[in-house]
Amino acid sequence: MADVAGIDGCKGGWLALTLSAAGHVRDVAVVPRWRELDLDGCAMLAVDMPIGLSDSGPRACDIAARRHLPKGRKSSVFAPPCRAMLGCRTWAEANVLGRTGDGTGISHQAWNLSPKIRELDAAIDPATQDRVREVHPELVFQRLHGLTGPGSTPLPSKKSTAGRAARLALLEIAGIAGLPERLAALPRKLAQPDDLLDAAACALAARAIVEGTAKRLPDGPLEDPPRDARGLRMEIWF
């Protein structure tokens, strides 16, 4: 089986973790631009960034993702900008656009990610989306945790020492080898530990997609997912 990769946005641009078929971390790289990622040898790429943007209103996959996460972790799923907002120059402009449209503005968190969302959107089309899938790491971690749904126990915040330790343990139990060494060598000016752990979770999801064991939101026929104006599937895998 070929390598797979998990990708997360970070301060330095994009962090990519390549995972071998045996579960070893083959490489960790941080590049400033998506087009500079050297992942041609990977069978599947899984990225923690929205792919497919609605014209207005929330995406069904985001609503479903929040339902799958326990109380305390639901806020990790934020509403991405609608497609028209990508053309805005400021948060205020995008917020007014949303509120005068369907009455929904945009959070500062979502707006701060809009440059990366715009960059990824420009690089993806319906054909390449077969190899590049949207993943939400918290869904992966909660699935590894063995508990999902409103009544399940949430993991501690990934920004906390306890949260990072819990996620690292789950990834190691899942068979990923070599993460502590990679964390120790991570350049903190470019990326943080939770960026690497999220990328590793995405890589696990990429492996599951290749193996046919991954789950997808929203529920429904895989051949008929919601699509945006560009024909991109609006779905989250884990």
- Quick: pLDDT tens for 192-201: 999 999 999 9
- The percentage of residues in the chain with a pLDDT greater than 70, rounded to a whole number, is 97
pLDDT (mean) for 37-55: 97
User: In the structure encoding, which two tokens stand for residue 114, read together?
Assistant: 């809009």
- For the chain, the first-to-last Cα distance in angstroms comes to 19
Instruction: Give the lowest-confidence range in 2-6, 152-156, 158-162, 187-191.
Output: 152-156
Compute the distance between CA of residue 204 and CA of residue 199 in angstroms, rounded to an integer: 9
Supply φ then ψ for residue 71, to 5 degrees. -60, 135
Instruction: Give the lowest-confidence range in 110-119, 147-156, 178-187, 221-230.
Output: 147-156
This prediction's pTM: 0.93
pLDDT at res. 150:
46
pLDDT (mean) for 39-50: 97
pLDDT (mean) for 108-119: 95
Residues 206, 19 contacting (CB under 8 angstroms)? yes
pLDDT (mean) for 52-79: 91
Residue tagged 């402009």 (tokens)? 93
pLDDT band at 148 (very low <50, low <70, confident <90, very high): very low
